[in-house]
Chains A and B, each alone.
Chain A
Amino acid sequence: MTTTTAGAPPVLVEQVTRRFGDVTALDDVSLRVDAGEIVGLLGPNGAGKTTLLSLLSGLRRPDSGTVRLFGGDPRDPASRTWLGTTPQETGLPETLKVREVVDFVAGHYASPMPRAEVLARFGLEELVDRQTGGLSGGQRRRLAVALSLVGRPRLVLLDEPTTGLDVEARHVLWEALRDYHRDGATVIVTSHYLEEIEALAERVVVVGGGRVLADDRIDRVLDLVALRRMTLTLPGDATSGRSALHGLDGVQDVVDAVPAVAGTRFTLLAADADAAVRALVAARLPFHALEVRGASLEEAFLALTTRGTTGVGAGVPSPEVSR
């Protein structure tokens, strides 16, 4: 039995490793989240986000390291009285009415949020007498997120809260979460949508391959994702092409060079793709088959970690990415 203390941070994860068979889902992860923060956990599928949340909500235990929730072990139910989570997917009991699901969850807490308030925060008042099986996907999703607040938690964990929602429903949810955060709660939200993290979070923790790749303010991570990925073919070998491309205006990095039919195919990351294209033309490089597209989050993470060695910020443990 552990004791939860008011002074302890909502989340304290120290050197946690968790494996599933041969797969290392979390590899020596440490993370501290203080009261009142709103943190986005960002990373591709399989990066370890959900595993981390399952450790925080007491569903699983780490293979090594410690996980603390307000100073207590999350596997002890008493430590979870300040925790709010949300059912994954649309897993609600289909035959129960909205009113009943809320009351059922409320029955687990000593002083829950009144049902009317829960429903009002998420615009669900009209649906109170409907069975959850009859709700639309978006309505179910809203109810699922609403359930995370029923116990008046001081820490809310949300795993992909708006997956599959339309724009309007997404904004309703975000507003409700921001409201609750303003009331003083700590919020951790995972997503692989940058937009979602941008709308909600002040601090972003990027995970990939089971590691914390970056832990920084939202604006610094956003700069990275403004990167564009350019591919083009130049005659000649990789070495000569690289040296020609490296110094160009707007080009941040040459990340790949593979032999192609008429020379070498290069992949670049550009902070300013327009400038890079103008520079390519100005340098009279005989390029062809140019493609420009937005860098994927994964590429942004990669860039983030390789730049980490040149000082993007604290919390960048290693440039290693598993995929």
Chain B
Amino acid sequence: MTATTDRAPAPGPRAALRPPLAVAWLHARYQFVETLRVPIAVLGNMLFPGLALLFFVIPQRAVADDPVAATAAVGQLAVFAVLSACLFTHGAGVAEDRALPFDGYLRTLPARPGPRLAGRVLNGLAWAYLSLIPLALIGWLLTAATLTWTQALGAVVMVVAVAVPFTLLGLTIGYSMTTKAALAVTQVTVFPLGFAGGLFLPPQMFPGWLDALSRLLPSRAARDLVVQVTTGADAPAMAVPVLLAWTVAFGALAVWAVRRDEGRRFH
């Protein structure tokens, strides 16, 4: 069949790709709406840290009425909120999306994978911030926790610093496992990381061996840095290198997982 037809559309210049930022924003928006439409998932994530504060910290007036201790308690639960938002959105969420035929369809649209991934990360970040709202409100109204404007700004910036490593860990889980496995692994990662990282009980209450182990965890490093930014209490010198090292390690794992997934499904 070589007969060409003359009624093909007038050949014009090829349409350009949409700008990467526009595509990232587009994906962030629609993923946000999708998540929003399943309120149970949203509420669980958003309310748990606030409820933990309400039930475990508020009754202990010695902590709740002490500005430094209360601020630290809110700070470490805030780290937990970000940790769990990032791991659930990316760990369980990515694995679910990968299982959908729609994912294959999206790959045929004229857009690079980078902006789509960026949209996903933006969405995770948005939920991390939202999950802090109930926590911040309860902390402000019912405890002696206080922040200066500078500290508050520092806390907002710290959310990103904390979200990056856990987003990368979430992507690693989401891209390397099936939906069921990813959900289970996310759950068994979130709670031990939270507990051993001193996000529920302050690390001052840990026995020596647990404290030593805890200092090597990303959740503990994130907690110490957040407490430093919000209360002025110095974090151990190891906190920054530990958090950076985990960020690099999770980054490498995430790249490996994404590439392996592409190789399996799309080559």
> Chain A residues in contact with chain B, CB under 8 A?
4, 6-7, 32-37, 57-61, 70, 77-78, 80-83, 85-89, 91-93, 95-96, 100, 104-105, 107-111, 131, 147, 151, 154, 183-186, 203, 215, 315
Contact = CB atoms under 8 A, between A and B. Distances in A.
A34 B4 contact: yes
A184 B34 contact: no
B17 to A, nearest CB: 6
25 contacts: A6-B11, A35-B4, A35-B8, A36-B4, A37-B5, A70-B14, A77-B110, A78-B16, A80-B109, A82-B15, A83-B108, A91-B100, A91-B101, A91-B103, A92-B102, A93-B100, A96-B30, A96-B37, A100-B33, A104-B30, A107-B18, A107-B22, A154-B8, A184-B8, A203-B1
Contacts of B18: 107-110
Contact of A109 (B2, B103, B110): B110
A105 B7 CA distance: 27
A104 B228 CA distance: 42
Nearest to A184: B9
A91 B107 CA distance: 13
B8 A85 contact: no
A108 B109 CA distance: 7
A80 B8 contact: no
A35 B14 contact: no
Interface string B12-42: 1111111000110010001001100110000
B14 A6 contact: yes
A96 B34 contact: yes
A67 B224 CA distance: 54
Q: For chain B, what secondary structure do more than half of its interface residues adopt (helix, strand, loop), or is it mixed?
A: loop
A108 B2 contact: no
Nearest to A3: B14
B14 A87 contact: no
A308 to B, nearest CB: 16
A95 B38 CA distance: 8
Contacts of A37: 1, 5
Contact of A87 (B8, B37, B102): B102
Q: Which of A83, A107, A110, A131 lies at the interface centre, i.e. has the most chain B CB atoms within 10 A of its CB?
A: A107
Contacts of B122: none
Interface of B: 1-5, 7-9, 11-18, 22-23, 26, 30, 33-34, 37-38, 100-105, 107-112, 266-267
**5 closest Cβ contacts across the A-B interface?**
A91-B101, A6-B11, A35-B8, A95-B37, A36-B5
A154 B13 CA distance: 13
Contacts of A91: 100-105
A139 B267 CA distance: 32
Nearest to B31: A93
Contacts of A154: 8-9
B110 A78 contact: yes
Give the residue among A7, A61, A105 with the most B Cβ atoms within 10 A.
A105
A152 to B, nearest CB: 9
A82 B9 CA distance: 11
Contacts of B33: 95-96, 100
Nearest to B107: A59
Contacts of B7: 36, 184
A185 B14 CA distance: 15
Interface centre among B16, B109, B111, B266 (most CB of A within 10 A): B109
B40 to A, nearest CB: 12
A78 B17 contact: yes
A82 B11 CA distance: 11
A110 B33 CA distance: 23
A312 to B, nearest CB: 14
A305 to B, nearest CB: 18
Contact of A35 (B5, B103, B109): B5
Contacts of B5: 34-37
Contact of A4 (B14, B101, B103): B14
B105 A87 contact: yes
A107 B23 contact: yes
A7 B17 CA distance: 20
Contacts of B100: 91, 93
Nearest to A90: B101
Contacts of B11: 6-7
Q: Which of B3, B15, B16, B33 has the most CB of A within 10 A?
A: B15
Contacts of A82: 14-15
Given A80-B109, A81-B14, 10 more contacts: A34-B2, A83-B110, A87-B104, A88-B101, A96-B30, A105-B109, A109-B110, A110-B16, A151-B110, A203-B1
B1 A59 contact: no
